[in-house]
Amino acid sequence: MVISKWAFLAEFAGVVKDKNSKEPIPYASISIVDLNVLIECDSAGVFRLNINVPSRFSLIVSAVGYESVQLVLEENNPASLEIFLEESHLEFEEIIVSGFRNSLSAKTIANIESRSLEDLKLLTSNSLGDLIANIPGVYQNSTGAGISKPVIRGLGLNRVITYMNGLRIENQQWGADHGLGLTDLGIGRVEIIKGPASLLYGSDALGGVIYFVDEAYTKVNTIAAELGSRFESVSMGTKSYASIKWSNANIRFNLYANHINHADYKLPSGLFGAESRFKGKNAKLSLGINKGKWVTNLRYNFLQNRLGIPGHTHDETIIPAEFQITTQGRENNLPAQENQNHYLLWENKFYFDYGKLEILLGHTRNLLTEFEEKFTKPALQMNLNSTTYNIRFNRSSDKKWKWTIGAQGMAQSNRNSEKAEESLIPNANVFDNGIYGLINGQFGTWKIESGLRWDSRILAAFDSSESVFSNTYQSINYSFGVAKFGKKFTFKTNLSTGFRAPHSSELLSDGIHHGALRYEIGNENLVSEKANQLDTYLEYKAEHINFVLNPFVNFLQDYIAVEAMDTLIEGLPGFKYNQVDRVIMSGVDVGFHYHPHFAHFIHLESSFSIVFGEALDGQPLGLIPQPRANSSLKFEFNSENSFRLENVIVQHQYLLAQDRVASLESRSSAYQLFNIAANFNYKSRINFSCGIRNLLNEQYIDHLSRLKNIGMYHPGRNLFVQLKFNLTTKQLNN
């Protein structure tokens, strides 16, 4: 039955089978990516579809132990389908939805690394930054346990953009003491673009993009609820959360809430890190509706937290022992930082014959308050509001060539509160606009992708009603990539450019940045940073082994650096923003995954990442992460018992010494960490996890820790336990 020119009511069934044995695969998953609809096959591998769909849409079919496949279906497809999956002992292919790409990651020309949060949380952590720092090439700049900022291949702060489901997250990310602004609540995947990504994301995506994707809606005609709680011994910390999901053929929603509370963390010495306590709450709602040719999702996320700021001092002589206390506390104290975030996104997709129009409208509000000496009088308070739009049209001219055109922009205002004692930067307005085009296709066995983009950023700063600064920054950027996909070998190479306009904090700062513990002086003469990166990806995969080699080199012009002035201003070290003419960032990520034939329950994974950063004169750049080797051994168990051990994972992280440091920057020693966890299940209704992080109680300070200057070590041995209840999974009436 035809609904319109662009949509029809799909009424057909199918069966998913093993390609070799031709036997049905029970409980395989069928994902209609464009509609955010998930269907599960029955015990005989059969699925049925009765839903309004576009006249041309994609199915991604997956099952445990098999390689996923993607199918494109049209109105004239047969009413009954047979889908064959090929057995695989290693899972190579993941679903990618970031950057409006709906395909298998192994078949994308761009080098996008995709990880399931469920896999990353096998070794759970209280920080989303801790979780994603397990990905090769990704690190974190931390201030204690509660404040973490992502770093990609040595670049962080406002050189890395964070997205959530297509919404750009703006939360004063220029400050090293301002956290990620997100928790793992309701997040299903994280996807990383390493290196310049201005073609799709505009200014500030100079170092890369971190793209979080929400958990999928529950299966059609299902309601599911979950309760969970986690305890961590190192901070006597708790996290409790609840979720409920409901879905039918055309309407679905997800609702989540959590609460976290952590006291000061315990150091390996047995003392506690002063003011490292933090607490917060988070609520999240997603509502999806599809009407054949129109699919819409409305998403809202609220996050509020209070974070202690360890290491705060105005003393000229720093005594590390003063920041290590004998009594653990969790009550509100000073100094501290309060954050309140509101994230709102309205996604719309309209389907036409061989084309799709996407319109995303979003708004974020971040209220940042820093308290230094008074609970009632903030030392610093800023209110940041950002309204964003993203419009894109995708067109397939034939089966080999596709092109995309789009426009993207943001209107942003940042205001200092009159209630605050002082301000670090003046009030400012930012207006971003960009247009771009992208084409990809195939020449024989080679796939290519190329694009061009123009951007403009207008920055206007003022104090009261008086203008203090105004400038326009423009840039043209491009990308070009080629790839060849074989049965065993994959080759990709991408050349991309990017730019970053200077932030008002770099241009106009003149005051104490309490969270960063320094006096900052801006530089109005700064110009935009520009980057050119060559990234090459080589992969070999066989039945039981996978090997990845990913070298890169990134040339940056007019690199903006904050340099120590070797002087004190108002009792704090002075820092000034300057530019380095040309710098080179280079390095490599190496990955290895072994799943032996003689012991299918064993998975051995290992990676090594190293980054070099220096000016053309050979002077090393500051805050370049330590070389890191990360290895894990996972044992998976298949048991028919009601209560069963699902897996045990042992992780070893070894970080080499960092001796190549900038002027006045301290070196960092090598260290190693052992982590272990076990995950249990009872009748698929109750999950129990336990483990230990920093098993050997290693005393260490990471090179990117902002607490190096006070000699504060990272948390000591941490025992964690987690209990999760799947309360209901009930089939609804059709």
Reported as half-sphere exposure (CB side, CA atoms, 13 A), residue 461 has a value of 17
What's residue 253's pLDDT?
94
First to last CA, the chain: 19
What's residue 91's pLDDT?
53
Question: What phi and psi values does residue 450 have, to the nearest 5 degrees?
Answer: -145, 150
Question: What phi and psi values does residue 253 have, to the nearest 5 degrees?
Answer: -150, 155
What's the token pair of residue 658? 């960092």
**Looking at the domain covering 112-731, what would its CATH class be?**
mainly beta
Strand (E) positions, 309-335? 324-325
Question: CATH 2.60.40.1120 spans which residues of the chain?
Answer: 7-88
At residue 200 the predicted structure's pLDDT band, cuts being 50, 70 and 90, is confident
At residue 6 the predicted structure's pLDDT band, cuts being 50, 70 and 90, is very low
Burial of 730 (0-12, 13-18, 19+ CB in 10 A): exposed
- Which pTM does this prediction carry? 0.91
Q: How do residues 52-100 score in pLDDT, each as one tens digit? A: 677 677 788 888 778 888 887 776 665 678 889 988 755 544 555 444 4
Vertex 309: Cα angle to 306 and 311 (nearest 5): 165
Question: CATH 2.40.170.20 spans which residues of the chain?
Answer: 112-731
At residue 101 the predicted structure's pLDDT band, cuts being 50, 70 and 90, is low
What's the token pair of residue 99? 């950057």
Residue with the larger pLDDT of the pair 361 and 370: 361
Residue 18 and residue 41: Cα distance in Å, rounded? 14
What's residue 507's pLDDT?
92
Q: How do residues 403-416 score in pLDDT, each as one tens digit? A: 999 999 999 999 99
At residue 719 the predicted structure's pLDDT band, cuts being 50, 70 and 90, is very high
> What is the side-by-side strand order in the sheet with 155-156?
138-143, 147-152, 155-156
Residue with the larger pLDDT of the pair 598 and 547: 547
What's the token pair of residue 487? 């049965």
CA-CA-CA-CA dihedral for 178, 567, 310, 385, to nearest 10: -20
Residues whose CB is less than 8 angstroms from the CB of residue 560 and which lie 6 or more positions away in sequence, other chains included: 500, 502, 506, 526, 529, 577, 578, 579
What's residue 42's pLDDT?
85
Residue 276 and residue 311: Cα distance in Å, rounded? 9
What's residue 515's pLDDT?
57
Average pLDDT for residues 166-175, to the nearest whole number?
Answer: 88
Q: Is the pLDDT of residue 300 over 50?
A: yes
Strand (E) positions, 4-79? 7-18, 29-32, 37-40, 46-54, 56-62, 69-74
Residue with the larger pLDDT of the pair 220 and 427: 427
Query: What is the overall mean pLDDT for the chain?
Result: 88
Could you tell me which of 725, 716, 649 has the C-alpha nearest to residue 266?
716
Residue 59 and residue 653: Cα distance in Å, rounded? 38
State percent of the chain over pLDDT 70.
92
What's the CATH number for 7-88? Answer: 2.60.40.1120
Per DSSP, the three-state class of 505 is helix
What's residue 512's pLDDT?
75
